[in-house]
Amino acid sequence: MTATDNHNGTADAYAAERDTTEGRVYTVTGGDWDELVASVDPVSEERLIVNLGPQHPSTHGVLRLVCELEGETVRSVRPIVGYLHTGIEKNLEYRNWTQGTTFVTRADYLAPIFNETAYCLAVEKLLGITVPKRADVIRVIMMELNRISSHLVALATTGMELGALSMMIYGFRDREKILDIFEAVCGLRMNMAYVRPGGVAQDLPRDGLKMIREFVDYMPQGLDDYEGLLTGNAIWQERTQGVGYLDVSGCLALGVTGPVLRSAGLPWDLRKTMPYCGYEEYDFEVPTHNGADAWARYVVRLEEIRQSLRIISQGLDKLEPGPVMVEDKKIAWPAQLALGNDGMGNSLNHIRHIMSQSMEALIHHFKLVTEGFRVPAGQVYTAIEAPRGELGIHAVSDGGTRPFRVHMRDPSFVNLQSLPALAEGGLLADVIAGGASLDPVMGGCDR
Amino acid sequence: MSADPTGTGAAGPDDVQPVGMQHKGLFGVSDTGDTSGFGGLVQAQPSAGEIVSTPEPLGEYFDEIVAALREAHGDEITRAVIVDRGELTIHIAPDRVADVCKTMRDDESLRFELCSSVSGVDYPDQRNRLHVTYHLTSMTYRRRVRLETAVGLDNPTVASVTAVYPTADWQEREAYDMFGVVFEGHPHLTRILMPDDWEGFPQRKDYPLGGIAVEYKGAHIPPPDERRAYK
């Protein structure tokens, strides 16, 4: 209603009035003040570009986000990646096939066993070999331990980024136990290069098995603690529920896989749908949720940890004595590792054998270590279910001792594309919550 | 159809061993002797040969896919069909990639909902040396297929599939960044992993790895791409 619609016909330039059931209501206006206010309105007119990262504690690594803000509302997000590009794929082309594991393991540094296994499955498919049963079971146990450690970091960092600092302490504390197991098994806590083409580098040590059993017994209590800490927490619910929404069709269009896809309700898990490493023999559930938000991803990850514990217990029961590397001496790494007083190294028995007993063994060792083995020409694509989704390896061989081309389809890289879809139109604080719920690892994203 | 439909044959008809990629001996060195005893060995380059289709029937679900694709686009759409190690590779023309992907996604008998991976491979011995591979996954039928297309350096243009599979956005940018393949129809084809002002395409085979020699106790160890290596 304008001022001239006044009921008695006299125009009041400053107070429009209208009759309501409560009596006459005057609306004080100021001529063209509306226009004036609108022309300087910072909320609807001024868009602020905020650069988040690449060095920012809440961006989950060296990720740069260029956000266009309208007040607190995010109008557009442009993720900028590449700060951690180390040329792993290019470097692989200058090393032999076995050395490749030491490179791929450094891509997604929170899931090294997955990188190695996916790569080794590709090499083994190119070679046309199958690994011994025991090696498969060890790979599964190690992968599931790694999945738990990766999910723990996801929970810990998400907690930290949303202000639940205790969760960060708990998550990293319990991940430490898994890193200790890794250290006992292969001497390294990260970037282990433990899985090799043809099997694994060495068998599980006796105390390693004991540590794994203790961990499986310990972990459910830890999960209950996290749930007690977060699930009923009103702030945690407010920060995650309805935040970072991405439904199934959005996930499929953007190629998002892993817990994010399952949190939208689609039970797509390569361990079930396209099994590898004997996953079809294990009894476990694929947890899903229909929230499709950060909360649902939190719930799905917690449940996946429980399922991983089930798989590990079954794996421990499946372990039967046997070789952990293929019998073919043309492929199997010649040296055996052993734990000495000064850490992990070549087994002294092996050194004695090649240095003072058998010239042929020395030649064989030298040939295989310096030259490596030849892989028949061709290309394969193998995919496994990494903690963040489908980790694919496209490996091409030209028949030589080195990879001709290896491409890693890393789930962090593909999933990160969906960040604008989940964050635009929400609040700036929800960019952090949504990004954390994707759990990108920039080492894997940039490779 | 020409004799070399995929354009993947050697650079010229007389080039049995492509120039620049001759592999003699075991190390590929000529100055110091090749002590391996294989100094006279001349090896064929498997990646330089022409792509030969697998004779049909192909087995498993492969025939079904190829038939559905040919029904939608005509017999000429598949330039070569290869089954190797239980994986199906369909070679198609670079300007038809988007059409084919649309059929692969929408056809009820195909239903490849997920574009798992887009990546490049550089075969320097071939005329159309830059290959782009698409790994498609059908969640409905639990199948995988690989589409492959090849372009030359003179016109490295491939139709973008971003309209069909939005997930290909970053992956095509990466293929452009690393190989210099131009995806026509991509909304913003810019470098993604390398800096914006970078020159050259790092994953091409003629792009050096780089690195510096390392001195260790007086001996100089050359960077990895200059060390002699088994070919």
> What is the DSSP track for A111-174?
-HHHHHHHHHHHHHHHHT----HHHHHHHHHHHHHHHHHHHHHHHHHHHHHTT-HHHHHHHHHH
Q: How far apart are the first and last CA of chain A?
A: 62
Of B170, B195, B230, Cβ closest to residue A371 = B230
Residues ≥6 apart with Cβ < 8 Å to B188? none
| Host domain of residue B167 | 51-226
What is the Cα–Cα distance from A263 to B76, expressed in whole angstroms? 42
pLDDT of B15: 35
Q: Determine, for residues A377 and B195 on separate chains, whether the beta-carbon distance falls below 8 Å.
A: no
A405-409/A389-397 β-pairing: antiparallel
C-alpha neighbours within 13 Å on the C-beta side of residue A262: 24
Q: Find the CB nearest B85 among A89, A125, A400.
A: A125
Interface with chain B: mutation pick from A62, A246, A251, A252, highest number of B CBs within 10 Å = A252
Q: Supply the ipTM of this predicted assembly.
A: 0.82
What is the mean pLDDT for each group of 10 consecutive residues in chain B (231 residues)? Answer: 49 38 57 62 62 79 88 86 89 90 89 91 86 92 92 90 92 92 91 90 86 85 78 63
Cα–Cα distance between B6 and A42 in angstroms, integer? 58
Question: Which residue of B17, B26, B51, B85 to mutate against A (max A Cβ within 10 Å)?
Answer: B85
Say yes or no for a CB contact (<8 Å) between A379 and B229: no
CA distance A284 to chain B (A): 20
Q: Is residue B34 part of a domain?
A: no
Number of domains chain B is built from: 1
Q: What number does CATH give the domain A76-331+373-446? A: 1.10.645.10
Quick check: A417 and B85 CB within 8 A? Answer: no
Q: Contact, A96 vs A401, CB < 8 A?
A: yes
Burial A15-34 (b: 16+ CB within 10 A, else e): ebbeeeeeeeeeeeeeeeee
The beta-carbon neighbor of B167 closest among A253, A268, A400 is A253
The CATH number of the domain holding residue B175 is 3.30.460.80
Could you tell me if residue B28 is inside a domain?
no
Taking Cα atoms as reference points, which of B62, B67, B105, B69 lies closest to residue B85?
B62
> Quick one: pLDDT at residue B118?
93
The Cα–Cα gap between A305 and A308 comes to 5
pLDDT of residue B128: 86
Q: Do A409 and B135 touch (CB under 8 A)?
A: yes
Chain B residues contacting A via beta carbons under 8 Å: 45-47, 84-85, 87, 89, 113-117, 119-122, 133, 135, 137, 139, 142, 144, 146, 165-171, 174, 178, 191-195, 202-203, 209, 224-225, 229-231
Instruction: Name the residue among B121, B139, B193 with its Cβ closest to that of A446.
Output: B193
Q: Return the SS3 of A391.
A: strand
pLDDT the model gives residue A4: 45
Interchain CB contacts (distance < 8 Å): A and B: 122
Question: A283 and A307 in contact (C-beta within 8 Å)?
Answer: no
| pLDDT tens column, A14-63 | 667 778 887 877 766 666 766 766 666 655 567 888 888 788 777 777 88
Contacts of B174 in chain A (CB under 8 A): 413
Chain B residues touching A274 at Cβ < 8 A: 142, 144
Nearest neighbour of B202 by CB, restricted to A87, A383, A416? A87
Identify the pLDDT of residue A40. 66
- Peptide bond just before B57 cis, omega within 30 deg: yes
DSSP run (H or E) holding B89: strand B87-91
Q: Is residue B74 part of a domain?
A: yes
Instruction: For A383, name the nearest residue in chain B, comparing CA atoms only.
Output: B116
Cα separation values, B15 from A363, B21, B22, B223, Å:
37, 11, 11, 31
Q: Residue written as tokens 């896809």?
A: A261
**Contact state of B116 with A409 under an 8 Å Cβ cutoff:** yes
Contacts of A125 in chain B (CB under 8 A): 85
**CA separation for the pair A60, B167 (Å, rounded):** 21
Is the Cβ pair B117, A409 closer than 8 Å? yes
**Beta-carbon separation of B116 and A399 below 8 A:** no
Q: For residue B201, which amino acid is it?
A: F
Report pLDDT digits (tens) over A246-298. Answer: 989 999 999 999 999 999 999 999 999 999 998 999 999 999 998 889 999 99
Output A354-361 pairs: Cβ under 8 A, ≥24 positions apart: A361/A334
Q: Is residue B204 part of a domain?
A: yes
Q: How far is B160 from chain A (nearest CA, A)?
A: 15
For chain A, domain boundaries = 1-40, 76-331+373-446
B47 → closest Cβ in A372, A377, A414? A377
Which residues in A lie closer than 8 A to residue B116 (C-beta atoms)? Answer: 255, 381, 383, 390, 392, 409
Q: Do A401 and B117 lie within an 8 Å CB cutoff?
A: no
String of b and e for A363-383 (b: at least 16 CB within 10 Å)? eebeebeeebbbbebbbbbbb
Chain A positions in Cβ-Cβ contact with residue B169 (cut-off 8 Å) = 417
Alpha-carbon span B195 to B183, nearest angstrom? 19
B72/chain A closest Cα distance in angstroms: 23
Does some domain include residue B15? no
Is residue B214 one of the residues assigned to a domain?
A: yes
Q: Write down the pLDDT at residue B2.
A: 45
Cβ contacts (< 8 Å) between A393 and chain B: which residues? none
Residue of chain B with shortest Cα separation from A384 = B116
Give every residue of chain A whose pLDDT is below 70, as ranges. 1-15, 27-31, 33-34, 36-45, 339-344
Q: Which of A94, A377, A383 sits opposite B209 (nearest CB)?
A: A94
> For residue B136, what pLDDT is reported?
93
Question: Which 3 state secondary structure label does DSSP give A426?
Answer: coil
